[in-house]
Structure 1
Amino acid sequence: MEIRPGEGVVFARVGESRDVVEGRIGAPVHPGRHSRAVYDTEPMLVITYTDGDTVELVEIANGGEEVFYDGIQLTYRFMDDVVAELAGRGLRAEPFDIGFAFEPGFAIFSMSSLPAAELDPGAPDDDPRRIVEGVSVAPIEYFREPV
């Protein structure tokens, strides 16, 4: 799945109404109109809605189809490799607690639930390399700390 930085993905775009998104991909896994909704898509989407029921943030979970930006595979790779490849394209990484945000509006993250041995079978149990487990898409301001 290709992301559109600052905008979303083909299934859901920042600023779209919940009704438009659900008309396209169906109802969320959990019934109701919660501010965060999980959708059974491939890959799985987690969408955060504003109080006005418009898309604020689109998160794409690792698993199944991988996530790409401009031909670069973002998910299911070592985070440092992804950051280096994006830097090679001129994108500056802004670190946060579980990953990195990039202009023009996306972030990669890891919950550290996948061991390095998942990608490198020879990795020791204490290998600190993190695997990108998901991508978030929103305008870059969403990812920045308030000043």
Structure 2
Amino acid sequence: MEIIPGRGVALAKIGETRADVEERVGEPAHGPGRARAVYPTTPALVVHYDRDDTVELVELGYGGRGGGEVFFDGVQLTFRFLDDVVADLAAKGYTSVPSDIGFHFHAGFSVWSMHSLWALDLDPDAGEDDERAVSEGVSVAPFSYFSEE
């Protein structure tokens, strides 16, 4: 799935209503009517709604092992080593700032790792003490959303 920095994805865009998203995607698998709804897409689509039931944040998880992954500008953002993702994006001119779990890109998205995957999930030759973080998800919103956290 391709992200639209600062806006979301084709299925859910910042500022759209819950009704618009659910007309396109269907009912959420988890969290119907709640501030956070998880939709049964590949990769998993998680939409955060504000009090007015409009989209304020779009998140996508990794598919893994051949599943649907997240992309931007020809770069695979999920299920890769986080440092490789950041290096590929930097080579294309995208700037970022580190966060406690990843990197916030000024273009309007964040890549992150909750460390539920480890290096061996990507590299069969990695040692058990290999601390390379695997990019597990992408959050999309205007950069101001991330800079206020």
TM-score (norm 1): 0.96
1 CA distance for matches of 2:78 and 2:126? 19
Matched with 1:79 is 82
Give the C-alpha shift of residue 104 in structure 1: 1.2
Segments of structure 2 that go 5 or more residues without pairing to the other structure are: none
Q: Kindly tell me: are residues 31 and 37 of structure 1, through their superposed partners in 2, closer, same or farther at Cα, counting changes over 3 Å?
A: closer
Give the C-alpha shift of residue 118 in structure 1: 1.0
Does structure 1 residue 68 correspond to structure 2 residue 67? no
Q: Deviations over 1:111-136 (max 9, x none)?
A: 10111011111111110100100100
Matched with 1:47 is 47
Q: Kindly tell me: are residues 84 and 13 of structure 1, through their superposed partners in 2, closer, same or farther at Cα, counting changes over 3 Å?
A: same
Equivalent runs, 1:104-123 vs 2, <5 Å: 104-123=107-126
2 CA distance for matches of 1:52 and 1:79? 34
2 CA distance for matches of 1:47 and 1:107? 15
**Residue identity opposite 2:61 in structure 1:** A
**Residue identity opposite 1:49 in structure 2:** Y
Matched with 2:91 is 88
Task: Name the Cα RMSD after superposition.
Answer: 1.0
1 CA distance for matches of 2:30 and 2:89? 35
1:134 to 124, 134, 137: 137
**Residue identity opposite 1:30 in structure 2:** H
Native 8 Å contact 2:31 2:38 kept in 1: no
Does structure 1 residue 57 correspond to structure 2 residue 60? no
- Could you say what secondary structure the match of 2:4 adopts? coil
Give the C-alpha shift of residue 32 in structure 1: 3.4
Give the C-alpha shift of residue 31 in structure 1: 5.2
1 CA distance for matches of 2:9 and 2:114? 22
Percent of aligned pairs with the same amino acid? 57
Give the C-alpha shift of residue 103 in structure 1: 1.6
